[in-house]
């Protein structure tokens, strides 16, 4: 009698524990409905790399760049960069490292 209306999710021991990274991945998937596979389009990668190369982490400048064909807001550009970072962490690291060899020597 007391069990009525209680869904299985609320029973102790049946609790679904979402790991934060799983939720994030699902949010990523949700925010990129056009992305069917686990790869990013070359266009997007070139776009992201161009922006980082020219503007570092200045998303406002990126949004003003004439190459911002997508008319992305700074927030949207940041999200694209993060997606690239998450899909290709190694490539991203190497790319970033390749950008500042001369600055590293200064210190």
Tens digits of residue pLDDT in 26-69: 555 555 555 455 678 889 999 999 999 999 999 999 999 999 98
With contact defined as beta carbons under 8 Å apart, do 81 and 45 qualify? no
pLDDT tens across 60-106, in order?
Answer: 999 999 999 889 999 999 999 999 999 999 999 999 999 876 655 54
Count of Cβ atoms closer than 10 Å to residue 6 Cβ: 9
Q: Is 106 helix (H, G, I), strand (E, B) or coil?
A: helix
- What are the boundaries of each domain within the chain? 42-100
Q: In terms of pTM, does the model score above 0.85? A: no
Measure CA of the first residue to CA of the last residue in the chain; give whole Å. 72
Query: Rounded to an integer, what is the distance from CA 34 to the centroid of its chain?
Result: 15
- CB within 8 A of 32, min separation 6: which ones? 83
């Amino acid at each position: 009698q007391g069990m009525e209306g209680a869904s299985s999710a609320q029973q102790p021991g049946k609790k679904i524990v979402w790991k934060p990274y799983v939720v994030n991945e699902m949010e990523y998937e949700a925010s990129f409905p056009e992305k069917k596979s686990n790869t990013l389009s070359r266009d997007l990668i070139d776009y992201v790399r161009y922006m980082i190369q020219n503007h570092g982490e200045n998303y406002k400048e990126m949004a003003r760049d004439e190459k911002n064909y997508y008319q992305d807001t700074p927030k949207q550009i940041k999200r694209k960069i993060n997606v690239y970072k998450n899909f290709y962490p190694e490539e991203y690291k190497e790319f970033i490292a390749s950008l500042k060899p001369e600055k590293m020597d200064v210190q």
